Structure 1
């Protein structure tokens, strides 16, 4: 219980969920963030986390933030800096962790199926960071989440739900693999506190699989209105968000393969959330 665990990206979706899971279990957390004065950082501090300023482009800040820690939750993002920035940030964080001499285990969060030839630029960048982690001589685990359910609470989905439409660039009956951020945090915390069980493993994680039509129905029931599914041509995605088009094209044609049933069987302690369970707990006050 005395092992200090560093959580990178602690004010973000995955880092925040991991920090909260660790704190609930009584583990000391050092929350790494570039914004220690933010409301999200303040909330973690109220929960008991120790805040530390950390900037992936500032090695001195990383060295100070990681000093004395026994484990690290590492997360990278291509937004807004791009995939090369993501790789550079990931390498910098992992190198700093390996150099501490105290960090015994690193859990890196990646993306489901990123170890395959997906052709998705920001999956390929995560694969490069994964490969670097394996060269450092430190015990490691890679967890690879599917698509976050939390995306449905963010624009443009609430606007669509207000109008009775759930639109995505995939066929209405196409399975879509999902996970709640809380489940990511719980699983990450498990790997950090039981490293021997998970060392050297790469694990794709998800908590539900639903078709587009099912998602529309579930979200409609949660927000109290009829919601219809609408298939959007992939050309619209290419025009509006070209950097995301390869991902949506992969989802629509290949899809993310995750053994949800196996995860629920082998790790019931996570308390996996189905989409309906997750949606029922959200605030669906839709925009006017």
Structure 2
């Protein structure tokens, strides 16, 4: 049994990782800025220790990481910016090194190591490089596009009107993964340190075109859904970063060996997009 610190524990990836580790029987130290939030309370009820930690407060990280065996590290530019994301990741890695943490699993993004020019991929790759140079045993897992994003934001708004609004051509494949599978894979890497240390692995569970995504959503929602290609200029008006990402998806694409991952790591459920879509409470989501 290991004691494993999980950052972003009240978010999608961190929460999924914490739950998977608890199921494996490990001790989980859930790090969050909001220890009294409903998500933190739910983790506490499952058996996790809840510790306050803030990436902008190195002292809080040192206290939270004292005595842990391993760390799951997740960072985000959303809500701040890419410069802050890199700074936060560097601070976290340095705090983990000072606390003599024995293994860090960092969740990045598929293809972030390929000079994509996508700002929030480049910020994650800068953290990867700092991690490799830190001297702490490391693993990088790099998820493809998140299925979970299809139940939020403008996509959810479009589904209310029978439209799957997505900034990609109808026939361009995209590799996808849900947060639950990211958490399961991260937990596997943390549980099997010797096997995963020093490796960077792009991960995805399915690959579909927007047309086929719309068809799967139509079945799950039990209503007609048609794909509508949102112009990149519209996306660019909201975020240059996201526009760069969708341009990359549409031109280069995210090639991830889905069948190889399923074959090599059968312990992970590897949800298809249909599995994920049919598991969502669409009535509640659409009523918001």
Using the size of structure 2 for normalisation, the TM-score is 0.98
Aligned to 2:33: 34
- Structure 2 unmatched ranges of 5 or more: none
1:158/1:287 contact within 8 Å kept = no
Aligned to 2:237: 239
Aligned to 1:287: 287
CA separation in 2, counterparts of 1:241 and 1:132? 27
Note the 1:135-174 alignment, pairs <5 A.
Answer: 135-174=133-172
CA separation in 2, counterparts of 1:234 and 1:261? 31
CA separation in 1, counterparts of 2:123 and 2:250? 21
Aligned to 1:211: 209
Aligned to 2:92: 93
Shift of residue 287, structure 1, vs aligned partner: 3.0
User: Which whole-Å deviations, capped at 9, do the CAs of 1:67-126 have from their partners, x for residues lacking one?
Assistant: 11000000111111101100000000000001112x111100000000001010110000
User: Which whole-Å deviations, capped at 9, do the CAs of 1:251-270 have from their partners, x for residues lacking one?
Assistant: 11111111111100100110
Aligned to 2:49: 50
Question: Is 1:261 matched with 2:256?
Answer: no
CA separation in 1, counterparts of 2:273 and 2:19? 21
Question: Is 1:114 matched with 2:86?
Answer: no
Note the 1:15-26 alignment, pairs <5 A.
Answer: 15-26=14-25
Aligned to 2:30, what secondary structure does the other structure show?
A: strand
Structure 1 segments, 4+ long, off by >3 Å, are none
Aligned to 1:19, what secondary structure does the other structure show?
A: helix
Q: How many residue pairs were aligned?
A: 286
1:106/1:141 contact within 8 Å kept = yes
Aligned to 2:121: 123
1:161/1:220 contact within 8 Å kept = no
Richer in helix (by share)? 2
Shift of residue 232, structure 1, vs aligned partner: 1.7
CA separation in 2, counterparts of 1:79 and 1:172? 27
1:159/1:287 contact within 8 Å kept = no
Aligned to 1:116, what secondary structure does the other structure show?
A: coil
Shift of residue 240, structure 1, vs aligned partner: 2.7
CA separation in 2, counterparts of 1:141 and 1:116? 17
1:237/1:244 contact within 8 Å kept = yes
User: Which whole-Å deviations, capped at 9, do the CAs of 1:238-284 have from their partners, x for residues lacking one?
Assistant: 12323311111111111111111110010011011000011111101
Aligned to 2:80: 81
Aligned to 1:201: 199
2:155/2:166 contact within 8 Å kept = no
- Structure 1 unmatched ranges of 5 or more: none
CA separation in 2, counterparts of 1:243 and 1:116? 16
1:11/1:33 contact within 8 Å kept = yes
Aligned to 2:187, what secondary structure does the other structure show?
A: helix
Question: Is 1:105 matched with 2:91?
Answer: no
1:146/1:179 contact within 8 Å kept = yes
1:152/1:158 contact within 8 Å kept = yes
CA separation in 1, counterparts of 2:154 and 2:236? 16
Shift of residue 157, structure 1, vs aligned partner: 1.8
158-167 or 257-266: bigger deviation: 158-167
